[in-house]
Amino acid sequence: MMDCKDIQNQMPVFLSGGLNEQDNTLIHEHLIHCEACQRELESYKLSWNSLKDWEDEDPDPAYISRFWTRLEERIPWYQRVLEPFGVIFGDKRLIPVLASFVFVVIVGSATLRYSWQVHQEESLVTALSAEEIDFIQNIELVEQLDVLEDLDMFEDMDVLKELVLPEAKAKIGVQSGV
């Protein structure tokens, strides 16, 4: 059997719901006829209820904008740039699909560009007259000659010509008695 002292010691546990059912019942029954313990219980309740006097305070009203600014300062610039893509890359299952799509776009555009170039050349050739084709071919021949002249072998021949020709001319002049 609990006396008033025991009951009052157990009161905060009783109020916090920490007692077993049997002790709870004992305290309830004791409180019905004990005025001293009723007063003690009341004093616990009053102190607990007085906590409401510490009311909530309002935070800085610009907290949302302050939050975004603070966050911006934390995020490195490259993450900020990539952030809009985060939604797409957030779902990892989409990565192979996106990689395939990028591959198809690159290969497709390269193929299209090549076909377009071939088509342009063909249409250019068909639009030329026979004379223009001859002219172009001649230009090509001239260009090839220029290339040949630039070769070392031909440069050596030019040097030989310059060396040999004056001597040959001189000999011819001596023989003819000029």
Partner 1 sequence: MNDLNSYISDPDVLLMLDFQRGNRVSFENLMRKYYKRIFNFALRILRSREAAEDIVQESFIRVYQSGKNYQPKASFRTWLYMIAKNLILNELKKNKRFSFSIDESQQGEEGAMPRQFEDTNLTHPLDKLVSAERARTVRAAIESLPQQQGMVVVLYRFERFSYEEISETLGLSVSAVKSLLSRARQNLKIRLAGLKKEI
Which parts of this chain interact with partner 1 (CB under 8 A)?
Answer: 12-13, 15-18, 43-44, 46-48, 50-51, 53-60, 63-64, 66-67, 70-71, 74, 86-87, 90
Cα 157 to Cα 97, 145, 147, 163: the distances in Å are 65, 15, 15, 10
Question: Minimum Å distance from CB 112 to partner 1?
Answer: 34
The residue among 60 and 167 lying less far from partner 1, judged by its C-beta, is: 60
What crossing angle do the helices spanning 21-33 and 35-49 adopt, rounded to 10°?
110
- Please state, in angstroms and rounded to a whole number, the distance separating the CA atoms of residues 128 and 138: 15
The residue among 11 and 30 lying less far from partner 1, judged by its C-beta, is: 11
The residue among 5 and 113 lying less far from partner 1, judged by its C-beta, is: 5
- Please state, in angstroms and rounded to a whole number, the distance separating the CA atoms of residues 7 and 1: 10
- Please state, in angstroms and rounded to a whole number, the distance separating the CA atoms of residues 55 and 31: 32
Question: Minimum Å distance from CB 63 to partner 1?
Answer: 6
Question: Do 27 and 14 form a contact (C-beta atoms < 8 A)?
Answer: yes
Nearest to 11 by CA among 37, 46, 49, 47: 37
Question: Minimum Å distance from CB 19 to partner 1?
Answer: 9
The residue among 17 and 96 lying less far from partner 1, judged by its C-beta, is: 17
Question: Minimum Å distance from CB 83 to partner 1?
Answer: 9
Question: Minimum Å distance from CB 46 to partner 1?
Answer: 4
The residue among 46 and 178 lying less far from partner 1, judged by its C-beta, is: 46
